């Protein structure tokens, strides 16, 4: 507990801030006045117009999100609190070699994401206050997980919104050597210092075997395949033919290496998926039995949502048109601005335009180690459907 005088941020009298309904963020236009820059990266309280205490949070006047709550109590963001938050985060998760350890506000650690890959933890920090405590966070993660190395992947563009530099380094100061790592029964060549995000998309790892159940003896297309995970699982499940597509040369090259390493038969090609579907040559080709659509986020901001909805409809329409009757479409979005109702509407519109009857087989979601905070819609970003297309 903190004793003595505390610095407070005050909401405007007419503010309709979401923090009043449990959301952990306060935006700059929701407060009466910003605090001096001397408080950036430090702990401040927030109070409503009636001077009621709303919690302890981290402050940054340079960010649109000026305050992020980490506790509903008066608390210091010190070693004791960080240790407790990390211990609680670990206790919520299954003991697995590869898993998400920390998911920002859902684990009372705003701006902190941590993934574990065997004996290595990859740590992303996207908030100034947590950057000031980065070394302590790295030490605690190493101690609590037994990790031999912590890779600080501080190269997200979100850091620029906090006025933070973009950089990558390790706790030891030594370069992390790329290596093979087994994830859900497959070996993947991981480069945790230079790969996308934290090195591997752990959020989809439970979806890969779920889709593979539909692939035995089938022609399977894995669109936006990245390192080829859906394709690898489909091939091992007995698919008759597997093709993975991705616009990134390095992703396709890695998918081929992964397929060879795991002894499965799958082809991969560099292609813009939209252009590939729209190529007139497709009209004369056999249709597919299973298509996976796992694109990058089309809506990276709320303002981009309208265009993103058109993109999602277009790609799902093309996929439905290229499926055999009774075929399976596994379709996902990782745009947190796109809610489930909007995704369902997009799929309904695509089905109507394709003149296909479409049934829901599975409603898909991010795994439990990416916990959703019910008062924070932004913590829920991955959703999808496995559909039967008649």
Residue 209, SS3 per DSSP: helix
Residue 60 has pLDDT above 90, yes or no: yes
Residue 173, SS3 per DSSP: coil
For residues 188 and 195, the model is more confident at 188
For 89-139, what is each residue's pLDDT tens digit?
Answer: 999 999 999 999 999 999 999 999 999 999 999 999 999 999 999 999 999
For 14-45, what is each residue's pLDDT tens digit?
Answer: 888 999 999 999 999 999 999 999 999 999 99
pLDDT of residue 339: 87
DSSP codes, 176-187: PPPEEEEETTEE
Q: Phi, psi at residue 202, to the nearest 5°?
A: -70, -20
Residue 328 has pLDDT above 50, yes or no: yes
Residue with tokens 């795991």: 262
> How many angstroms separate the CA atoms of 133 and 110, rounded?
12
When pLDDT is cut at 50, 70 and 90, the band that residue 338 belongs to is confident
- Give pTM, 2 decimals: 0.93
> How many angstroms separate the CA atoms of 225 and 211, rounded?
14
Domain annotation for the chain: domains and CATH numbers: 8-71 (2.30.130.10), 79-177 (3.30.750.80), 201-389 (3.40.50.150)
Looking at the annotation, which residues are catalytic?
A: 334
> How many angstroms separate the CA atoms of 182 and 299, rounded?
31
Residue with tokens 């960080």: 82
| CB-side neighbour CA atoms (13 Å) of 236 | 21
What percent of the chain shows pLDDT beyond 70?
98
Residue 5 has pLDDT above 50, yes or no: no
What tokens appear for 346 in the block?
Answer: 């997009």
Q: For 259-263, 305-309, 326-330, 352-356, which range has the lowest pLDDT when averaged over its residues?
A: 305-309
When pLDDT is cut at 50, 70 and 90, the band that residue 353 belongs to is very high
Residue 343 has pLDDT above 60, yes or no: yes
């Amino acid at each position: 507990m903190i004793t003595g005088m505390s610095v407070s941020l005050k909401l405007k009298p007419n503010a309709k801030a979401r923090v009043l309904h449990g959301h952990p963020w306060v935006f700059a236009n929701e407060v009466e006045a910003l605090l001096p820059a001397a408080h950036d990266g430090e702990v401040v309280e927030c109070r409503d117009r009636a001077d009621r205490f709303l919690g302890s949070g981290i402050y940054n006047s340079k960010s649109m999100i000026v305050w992020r709550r980490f506790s509903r109590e008066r608390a210091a963001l010190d070693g004791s609190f960080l240790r407790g938050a990390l211990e609680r985060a670990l206790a919520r998760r299954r003991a697995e070699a590869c898993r998400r350890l920390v998911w920002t506000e859902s684990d009372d650690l705003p701006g902190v994401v941590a993934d574990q890959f065997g004996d290595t933890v990859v740590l992303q920090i996207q908030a100034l206050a947590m950057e000031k405590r980065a070394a302590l966070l790295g030490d605690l993660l190493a101690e609590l997980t037994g990790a031999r190395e912590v890779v600080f992947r501080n190269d997200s563009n979100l850091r620029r919104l906090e006025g933070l530099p973009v950089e990558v380094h390790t706790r030891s100061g030594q370069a992390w050597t790329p290596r093979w790592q087994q994830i859900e029964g497959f070996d993947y060549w991981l480069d945790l210092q230079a790969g996308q995000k934290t090195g591997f998309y752990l959020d989809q790892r439970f979806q890969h075997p779920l889709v593979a159940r539909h692939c035995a003896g089938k022609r399977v297309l894995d669109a936006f395949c990245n390192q080829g995970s859906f394709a690898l699982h489909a091939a091992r499940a007995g698919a008759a033919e597997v093709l993975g597509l991705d616009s990134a040369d390095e992703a396709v090259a890695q998918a081929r290496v992964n397929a060879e390493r795991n002894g499965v038969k799958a082809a991969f090609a560099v292609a813009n998926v939209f252009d590939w579907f729209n190529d007139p040559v497709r009209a004369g080709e056999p249709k597919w039995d299973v298509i996976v659509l796992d694109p990058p986020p089309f809506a990276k901001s709320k303002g981009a949502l309208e265009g993103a909805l058109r993109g999602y409809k277009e790609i799902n329409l093309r996929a439905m048109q290229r499926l055999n009757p009774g075929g399976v479409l596994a379709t996902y979005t990782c745009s947190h601005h796109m809610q489930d109702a909007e995704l369902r509407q997009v799929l309904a519109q695509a089905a109507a335009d394709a003149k296909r009857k479409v049934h829901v087989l599975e409603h898909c979601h991010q795994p439990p180690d990416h916990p959703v905070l019910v008062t924070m819609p932004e913590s829920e970003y991955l959703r999808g459907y496995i559909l039967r297309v008649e």
